[in-house]
Structure 1
Amino acid sequence: MQIINARLRHQAALHSLTMVDGRFTAIQAQSGPLAPQSGQYDAQGLLACAPFIEPHIHLDAALTAGEPNWNQSGTLFEGIERWAERKPLLSEADIRRRVHETLELLIGQGVQHVRTHADISDPSLVGLKTLCALRDELKEKIHLQVVAFPQEGLLSYEGGLALMEEAIEVGADVIGGIPHFEYTRELGVASMQQVIALAVKHDKLVDVHCDETDDGQSRFLEVLAYETLKAGLGPRVTASHTTAMHSYDNAYCSKLFRLLKRADLNFIACPTESIHLQGRFDSYPKRRGVTRVKELDKAGLNVCLGQDSIFDPWYSLGNGKLLRTLDFGLHICQMMGHQDFSRALDFITDHSARTLQIADYGIAVGNPGNLILLDGEDDYSVLRRQGDVRLSVRQGQIIAQRPAAPLLTPPWLSA
């Protein structure tokens, strides 16, 4: 396959991209626009970008909002209660149907890599087993990583540690945790030590729901960072949410950031979810509820953005568009300078690739022929237009395509 008249990020010239046997074999700057030949795809000056990456989502819970009951308060903890009511209704067929539907939505929006959490606070492990099976079945179409996530606690849930060991045997790619949901601080600390020990023992990545609360005294991030540093796991470990950081005082954060930089772990923020789940105990002033994305990024730490949920007990909206998530994130985190816009796509591409430890990611000769075409010429115009992904190519084959939206004439001008 060959794509002509494509723009590349941070480059002025148009380019031709050639893919043979599923890999990029040539990337050539053009002196000007080319007339398309037979078998060529004309990008018409649109931006060619590495595929989007969804680094944090719960596919086992997707499309279950209101089943059997709605989260009326909109809170995190009622969401956990509503999910506990839905879990007895889970089956392989139910999960397969919803995951296929959700993945089609994501693929249509340019996503080719997904890290999904699977609740293992369930003796049947039906969610994790089904997602691991789908990961292997769909690998030609989309890359899935499955996190064994102890939603109700690794140590506080009866048999939680044994279920984690079983989940690893089944084939989980990543070990999860939720220290702030354990019954005591001591159990939370012990759970982080167990998670890191299991990662070392089984050579697994780590992704912890860490301090997803307004409580400024929830400080398990320092424990996770220290255990990561001690084990030398660095970028193999991810702290998701860390929303308590919005309540930490600056003096404590000054000390904390020193440890975070030494530990070199990754961060995932989910702005659309956190902005409505957090700050629930505030009247006014009301906290925004999103971790310190801007400050972490400025400190040189790797931060990426995810959707977290699509129509589930915690978030009853969602459409699979990471550009929407990015738009929310930049607004909420006050990253609205032109220098922020000019590299905005990093937060849903390159940064997430580092978090998921994806090898050979990006548009480069020798890499897999994976790319998307976006409605714009650069990061700024893509972000501003919030258009649809026009084309998605995986291993040199088109897997999703959408024509340009027609320009509509206002009725007062049509006469």
Structure 2
Amino acid sequence: MFDMIIKNAKLRNAKDLVNIAIKNGLVKAIERNIEGKAIKEIDAMGNLVTPPFCDPHLHLDAALSVGDPRYNMSGTLLEGIQIWGERKPNLTKEIIKKNAIEAIKWEVANGTLKIRTHADVCDPRLLCVEALLEVKEEMKDLVDIQIVAFPQDGIYAYKNGDKLLEEALKMGADVVGGIPHNELTREDGVKDIEYVFELANKYNRLIDVHCDETGDDQSRFVEVMAKLTIDNDMEGLVTASHTTAMHNYNNDYAFKLIGILKRAQMNIITNPFDNSVLQNRTDGYPRRRGHTRVDEMLNRGINVCIGHDSIMDPWYPLGKGSMLQGANLLMHYAHLSGYDQIYELYDMITNYSAKTLGISNEYGIEVGKPADMIILNAKDEMDAIRLMSECLYVLRKGKVVSQTKPSISEVIFNGKRENIDFIVER
């Protein structure tokens, strides 16, 4: 007797529908026809069934705080940082946890079960780290969370930032963060990255640095990260988030840099929501696009994935925790509308992100792996992204943790009602 059988599931890159049997939280069989019964059965009705979405870049400590203490009227990264700095002295652990837990539930309802969140360490209390460590423990049955010790104001631009960063790792943060472009000088920016690698080696941690999150074409710290990755034999273990300055680099330098990133096997996270509104605010017109060179890096084999980054905070006032919405947005403003590119966008919120998080071994719908999966209200990846489809079911270790009833649209014309599902048979 199985605990659950999902019938008529459409797996990625598969022609035939399959049944998926689950027992004790693990996938036990994937076959066209499964002998045996189950306590619970779900008919996927030919809809797409995939591993859950991953959100590799989120700021849960700031989530749902938009307008507190004021709105970001300029829409710039710097004003967002100023507002966050004004808010920090009045933060309590209870406020952080309440908003973070609510934002996690939003993401779960939208199919995300793997999250990497940044926790600001530029606070003598280390309140954000303490709060998110508690959230990680309290929500572990619902979602897997990695916490990045993140020096929002700079490791050296903030008094005792280096000591606070190390203390956060001692408290239990999973990943070492940095922000070299926010240091006061180029020299301190390089020192920022060097210290991140020193701590990663000392505490055996992964690395995820906010790097070159600016429109300044002279901000070139990602090359330093790549060199240190190679020097420290940390290929595949290092992530650079944002790298928006790369958009504005001259093409000869960018071509060389991407080759070095490939050699270093670095992971890159682009954040469509924030990058699209925060970057290149000083351009006037014509206005450059505020994102990294996604297509060029993908074409050369770089592991690029998508993060949500902000959900209703000083940097981005909207959002509902939907990775499909992020993929849809990136398709438009990164010029990724080619047929194969749209399908790869789905990889950028699933497999590629799992690789960045270092969880590929336990991720995926395969016999013996944890039964974490989603059933979408879509037949394939293209429609999922186009429609930003609902997750009909979200399963965590073989148990339904979220369920959504899709909306029904009707057109009334000539005295008749017609259901509209926005689907075109291809």
The RMSD of aligned alpha carbons is: 1.5
Q: Does the 8 Å CA contact 2:383/2:389 hold for their aligned counterparts?
A: no
Partner of residue 424, structure 2: none
**1:133-212 equivalence runs, <5 A:** 133-212=134-213
The number of aligned residues is 412
How far did 1:39 drift?
2.5
How far did 1:137 drift?
2.1
Percent sequence identity is 43
**1:307-322 equivalence runs, <5 A:** 307-322=308-323
Instruction: Report the Cα distance in structure 2 between the residues aligned to 1:307 and 1:167, rounded to whole angstroms.
Output: 23
Instruction: Report the Cα distance in structure 2 between the residues aligned to 1:100 and 1:393, rounded to whole angstroms.
Output: 18
Partner of residue 242, structure 2: 241
What secondary structure does 1:112 align onto? strand
Partner of residue 368, structure 1: 370
How far did 1:77 drift?
0.0
Question: Cα gap change, 1:343/1:410 in structure 2, threshold over 3 Å: closer, same or farther?
Answer: farther
What secondary structure does 1:166 align onto? helix
Instruction: Report the Cα distance in structure 2 between the residues aligned to 1:178 and 1:374, rounded to whole angstroms.
Output: 37
How far did 1:138 drift?
1.5
Q: Deviations over 1:206-226 (max 9, x none)?
A: 100000000000000000110
1:300 and 2:293 aligned? no
Instruction: Report the Cα distance in structure 2 between the residues aligned to 1:49 and 1:412, rounded to whole angstroms.
Output: 41
Instruction: Report the Cα distance in structure 1 between the residues aligned to 2:43 and 2:79, rounded to whole angstroms.
Output: 50
Question: Cα gap change, 1:218/1:365 in structure 2, threshold over 3 Å: closer, same or farther?
Answer: same
1:18 and 2:21 aligned? yes
Partner of residue 112, structure 1: 113
Question: Cα gap change, 1:126/1:408 in structure 2, threshold over 3 Å: closer, same or farther?
Answer: same
In structure 1, runs of 5+ residues without a counterpart are: none
Instruction: Report the Cα distance in structure 2 between the residues aligned to 1:9 and 1:271, rounded to whole angstroms.
Output: 24
Correspondent of 1:400 among 399, 402, 415: 402
How far did 1:235 drift?
1.3
Q: Does the 8 Å CA contact 2:154/2:180 hold for their aligned counterparts?
A: yes
Which amino acid in the other structure matches residue 120 of structure 2? D
TM-score (norm 2): 0.94
**1:234-313 equivalence runs, <5 A:** 234-313=235-314
Instruction: Report the Cα distance in structure 2 between the residues aligned to 1:386 and 1:270, rounded to whole angstroms.
Output: 17
Instruction: Report the Cα distance in structure 1 between the residues aligned to 2:415 and 2:246, rounded to whole angstroms.
Output: 51
Partner of residue 2, structure 1: 5
Which amino acid in the other structure matches residue 11 of structure 2? L
Which amino acid in the other structure matches residue 350 of structure 2? T
Q: Does the 8 Å CA contact 2:273/2:310 hold for their aligned counterparts?
A: no
Instruction: Report the Cα distance in structure 1 between the residues aligned to 2:52 and 2:68, rounded to whole angstroms.
Output: 33
Which amino acid in the other structure matches residue 24 of structure 1? V
Q: Deviations over 1:294-349 (max 9, x none)?
A: 11111101000011100000000011111110001111111111111233310100
Moved over 3 A (4+): 410-415
How far did 1:38 drift?
6.9
Question: Cα gap change, 1:38/1:237 in structure 2, threshold over 3 Å: closer, same or farther?
Answer: closer
Q: Does the 8 Å CA contact 1:344/1:380 hold for their aligned counterparts?
A: no
Instruction: Report the Cα distance in structure 1 between the residues aligned to 2:414 and 2:324, rounded to whole angstroms.
Output: 32
What secondary structure does 1:195 align onto? helix
TM-score (norm 1): 0.97
